[in-house]
C-alpha cells in the first residue's frame, strides 16, 4: 500500500480550489456584481447522472454560486433540448452551462454540445474551446474539468514546468486523453499518447516520469509498467465485483492496480478520492472564470 505521503489527496487539493472560488465569488458580490450562475441540464433517469447533478448543485451553492437545475424527461426531443440551450445561452443570470452525459441514445451528443455558447461552455467540449486549448490560447478558453484537475495534481507534485519529463497518456478520448496531452505539452513535457492499438504499452509506460491512465479498464496498469518514483494519475472509475462485501456487491477501482503500483510510484492518486473531487472543483472554477470574463473582471488562475 502507498504511504500517506505518496497519496495525492484529491479532496484536499479540491478544497483549496473551492476556497479560492468562494473567496473570489464573495469579492465579486462586494463589488455589487450578481452571483455567477451554473445551469446543469439532465435528460432522463440515469441514477449515476442524478447523483452527479445533485452534487454539482450542492457544491455550487456552497461556493456562493447560483445553481439552476433543468431535469428533463427521457423522451425529450432534440428540438426541445436545443430550445432550452438557446434560452440558457441568452439568459444573463447563467454564466456556465453543463449538459450531463450520457444523453439518451435518440439525442445527438455532438450536436447538443456544439449548441452551447463557447463563452458558457464550462465543460470545455465545444470545438471553439477544444481549438483554443490545442492552439495554446488559454486566456479565455475553458478546459474540460477532469484534465484541468489532473494537471493541478501533477503540478502539485512536479511544479508548473515539466521540461525534460516524459509523460504517457493512456487513452485518446476528447474528454480526457487529448486535452490532458495538450496541457502536458503546454507545460513542456514530452508526451506520448497511447491507446488500445499501441504496441509494447508496458515498455512505453516504463520510461514515463508521469502516467495518466484514462482507458476504463480496471487495474490495467501493473507494477512492472511503472518507473520508480513516477507520478501516476488514475482517471479510471470502474465497478468490479466485491464478493467479500456480500453477494452482488461491487467496489470502485481505477485503471491502475493501486496496491501493486503504489509502493513503486513517487506519487499516486487513489480511486475514489483522487481525480473525482478535482473534476467538480474545476467545474466551479470554470463557472467563476466565465462570470469574470463576461463581466470584464480578471479571471483567477487555478
> In which order are the strands placed within the sheet that holds 66-72?
66-72, 37-43, 96-99
Q: Taking a C-beta distance cutoff of 8 angstroms, is the pair 112, 77 a contact?
A: no
123 part of the active site: yes
Q: Taking a C-beta distance cutoff of 8 angstroms, is the pair 231, 265 a contact?
A: yes
Can you name the residues that pair with 69 across neighbouring β-strands? 40
Q: How far apart are CA 219 and CA 202, in angstroms?
A: 13
- Spot the catalytic one: 6, 100, 120, 178: 100
Helix (H, G, I), strand (E, B) or coil at 148: helix
100 part of the active site: yes
Whether a cis peptide bond, with omega within 30° of 0, leads into 102 is: yes
Report H helices in 159-274.
Answer: 177-186, 201-205, 258-261
Report H helices in 237-274.
Answer: 258-261
9 part of the active site: no
Looking at beta carbons, which pairs linking 52-57 to residues 24 or more positions away fall under 8 Å?
Answer: 52/100, 53/100, 55/280, 56/98, 56/280, 56/283
Q: Taking a C-beta distance cutoff of 8 angstroms, is the pair 179, 147 a contact?
A: yes
- Spot the catalytic one: 6, 24, 35, 56: 56
Closest CA relative to residue 207, chosen from 192, 187, 186, 188: 192
Closest CA relative to residue 287, chosen from 3, 24, 7, 100: 24
Report CA torsion sign: 118, 87, 23, 268.
negative
Could you give phi then psi for residue 216, rounded to 5 degrees?
75, 30
Known catalytic residues? 56, 100, 123
Amino acid at each position: 500500500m502507498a504511504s500517506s505521503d505518496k497519496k495525492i489527496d484529491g479532496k484536499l487539493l479540491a478544497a483549496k480550489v473551492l476556497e479560492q472560488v468562494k473567496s473570489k465569488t464573495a469579492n465579486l458580490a462586494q463589488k455589487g456584481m450578481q452571483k455567477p450562475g451554473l445551469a446543469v441540464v439532465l435528460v432522463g433517469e440515469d441514477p449515476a447522472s442524478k447523483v452527479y447533478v445533485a452534487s454539482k448543485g450542492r457544491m455550487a451553492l456552497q461556493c456562493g454560486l447560483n445553481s439552476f437545475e433543468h431535469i428533463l424527461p427521457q423522451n425529450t426531443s432534440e428540438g426541445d433540448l436545443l430550445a432550452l440551450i438557446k434560452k440558457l445561452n441568452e439568459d444573463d443570470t447563467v454564466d456556465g452551462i453543463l449538459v450531463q452525459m450520457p444523453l439518451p441514445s435518440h439525442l445527438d451528443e455532438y450536436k447538443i454540445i456544439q449548441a452551447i455558447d463557447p463563452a458558457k461552455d464550462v465543460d470545455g467540449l465545444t470545438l471553439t474551446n477544444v481549438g483554443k486549448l490545442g492552439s495554446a490560447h488559454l486566456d479565455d478558453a475553458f478546459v474540460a474539468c477532469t484534465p484541468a484537475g489532473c494537471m493541478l495534481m501533477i503540478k502539485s507534485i512536479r511544479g508548473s514546468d515539466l521540461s525534460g519529463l516524459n509523460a504517457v497518456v493512456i487513452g485518446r478520448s476528447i474528454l480526457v486523453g487529448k486535452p490532458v496531452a495538450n496541457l502536458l505539452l503546454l507545460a513542456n513535457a514530452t508526451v506520448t499518447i497511447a491507446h488500445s492499438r499501441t504496441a509494447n504499452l508496458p515498455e512505453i509506460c516504463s520510461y514515463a516520469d508521469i502516467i495518466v491512465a484514462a482507458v476504463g479498464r480496471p487495474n490495467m496498469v501493473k507494477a512492472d509498467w511503472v518507473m520508480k518514483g513516477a507520478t501516476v494519475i488514475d482517471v479510471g472509475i470502474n465497478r468490479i465485483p466485491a464478493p467479500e462485501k456480500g453477494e452482488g456487491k461491487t467496489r470502485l477501482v481505477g485503471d491502475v492496480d493501486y496496491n501493486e503500483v503504489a509502493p513503486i510510484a513517487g506519487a499516486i492518486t487513489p480511486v475514489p478520492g483522487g481525480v473525482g473531487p478535482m473534476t467538480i472543483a474545476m467545474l466551479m472554477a470554470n463557472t467563476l472564470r466565465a462570470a469574470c470574463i463576461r463581466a470584464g473582471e480578471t479571471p483567477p488562475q487555478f
